[in-house]
Amino acid sequence: MTGAGTNHTIPSLMGGPAIILVRPQLAVNIGMCARAMANFGLSDLRLVNPREGWPRTGALRKGAYAAAAGAVHLLEQARLFASLEEAVADLNGTFATTARERGQLKPVLAADTAMAEAASRFSSGERLGILFGPERTGLANEEVALADKIVSFPVNPAYASLNLAQAVLLVGYEWMKAAHGAAPPFQPAERSPAAPREMILSFFDYLEGELARVGFFRPLAKRPVMQNNLRNMFHRMNMSEQDVSSFRGMIVRLVEGPRADRPKKKSQPPSDDKG
């Protein structure tokens, strides 16, 4: 039915909990939810009585498909249900998203905790669904009662105004983190190996020698403190071999002045060399 819980061998991110939009008001919002889902590898979209009707046909198609921004395959695969009971019939567990307390004795979980639980249950074969209510009103109490647990989001109490697609986005994001790891999608650019301490100390010796030569350390009694401060600044850079080479080259150039093989600029006095 859903494909959830079965496609563990496909490397492309698929499956995960069903996203169940209950009585969504606007087709364009259904498209935006599809886009949010696709970003985080969710693929099972279910619609219960969308107010504007089925967004795959007629005039609604255009707005919903534009909002889906390339995630139209989720709209194509989405399933329409006449009741929430039918939409959750094949699921083992359901979470209801709500923005306010509902007077129902269910566990209330933050989205990260809920999706950590969902990822664990999903990986042991359970089929799960997350319920989202209509834009203006949220889920009705009897719809919340159909769920095992409540999911909510920490928001600014003075301004709590998450819209439907934003709520789907946050659930998808926490699902992604819990199910597929929270690492960023790329690593820093390849850097040269970390410099061995010997290389760094050799650079310090050279630099401090040149600084002493030009009278940088004044008063002389302060040289040890000044040197330590300088060395600590460099240590904070966590230099690679390439970094040390670049820095050393820079100091050499400053000390020795313009390269002989480079045409000297007019404005530069030729006797500026210090070395």
Cα–Cα distance, 150 to 130 (Å, whole number): 9
Told to check if 168 binds a copy of itself by CB under 8 A, we report no
Residue type, 51: R
Told to check if 267 binds a copy of itself by CB under 8 A, we report no
C-alpha pair distances (Å), 243 with each of 39, 187, 195, 238, 255: 37, 19, 8, 9, 18
Q: Whose Cβ is closer to a copy of itself: residue 208's or residue 241's?
A: 241
Cα–Cα distance, 240 to 195 (Å, whole number): 5
Told to check if 110 binds a copy of itself by CB under 8 A, we report yes
Q: Whose Cβ is closer to a copy of itself: residue 2's or residue 43's?
A: 43
Cβ at position 101, least distance to a copy of itself in Å: 4
Choosing from 18, 22, 60, 71, the residue that interacts with a copy of itself (CB under 8 A) is 71
Told to check if 8 binds a copy of itself by CB under 8 A, we report no
Told to check if 158 binds a copy of itself by CB under 8 A, we report yes
Cα–Cα distance, 31 to 27 (Å, whole number): 7
The token duo for 27 is 């087709």
Told to check if 125 binds a copy of itself by CB under 8 A, we report no
Choosing from 104, 120, 229, 246, the residue that interacts with a copy of itself (CB under 8 A) is 104
The piece of 98-106, 122-130, 213-221, 248-256 that touches a copy of itself (CB under 8 A) is 98-106
Told to check if 272 binds a copy of itself by CB under 8 A, we report no
Cβ at position 82, least distance to a copy of itself in Å: 30
Give the CA-trace dihedral at 84, 90, 94, 99, to 10 degrees.
-30
Cβ at position 161, least distance to a copy of itself in Å: 6
Choosing from 28, 31, 35, 118, the residue that interacts with a copy of itself (CB under 8 A) is 35
User: Rule CB under 8 A: which residues touch a copy of itself?
Assistant: 12-13, 35-36, 38-41, 69-71, 99-110, 112-113, 150-163, 166, 169-170, 173, 176-177, 180-189, 191, 240
